Amino acid sequence: MTESDCPTGDPTCYCPLTDVIDVLGRKYAIPVVCAVDAHGRLRFGDLETHFPDASTSTLSARLDDLQSAGLVDRTQYDEIPPRVEYELTDDGCELADRLEPLVEWVAGRE
């Protein structure tokens, strides 16, 4: 990164992270990415089972946020009862891979 890339003129500026950190900093965002990564594809009800303390609206909002950020794909099947599945996009998979060292670092601090 060069000085001209960052509004502060600081070549170590982390400004490009702002949007990603905004999404990932929301409640349940990183755990949802990790859960979907661990299973490959999950239905909404399965995600609710993983996060029993999360309200349905919060979990739904987080999935919408992750989908808007291009990290999660949502597939709706025309079945009765309706079925919706979530899986990580290529960017979401890369994010999950890059989160592993952070999780290890945090675990080592405990």
pLDDT digits (tens, 9 = 90+) for 70-110: 999 999 999 998 899 999 999 999 999 999 999 899 999 98
* Cis amide prior to 81 (ω within 30 degrees): yes
Would residue 19 count as lying in a domain? Answer: yes
Q: Taking a C-beta distance cutoff of 8 angstroms, is the pair 62, 95 a contact?
A: no
Assess if residue 93 is contained within a domain. Answer: yes
Whether 66 is in a domain gets the answer: yes
Range of the domain at 19: 3-105
* DSSP-derived secondary structure for 95-108: HHHHHHHHHHHHHH
Q: DSSP for 32-90, please give it.
A: HHHHHHHHSSEEHHHHHHH-TTS-HHHHHHHHHHHHHTTSEEEEEE--SS-EEEEEE-H
Q: How far is CA 84 from the centre of its chain?
A: 17
Q: Tell me which amino acid residue 11 is.
A: P
Number of domains in the chain: 1
- The answer to whether position 32 is within a domain reads yes
As a residue count, the chain comes to 110
CB 34, CB 93: distance < 8 Å: no
CA dist 23 and 39 (Å) reads 21
Please state whether the predicted TM-score (pTM) of the whole model is above 0.75.
yes
CATH code at 70?
Answer: 1.10.10.10
State pLDDT tens for residues 17-55. 788 889 999 999 999 999 999 999 999 999 999 999 999
Is there a domain that residue 31 lies in? yes
Q: Would you say residue 110 lies in a domain?
A: no
The model's confidence at residue 3, banded by pLDDT at 50, 70 and 90, is very low
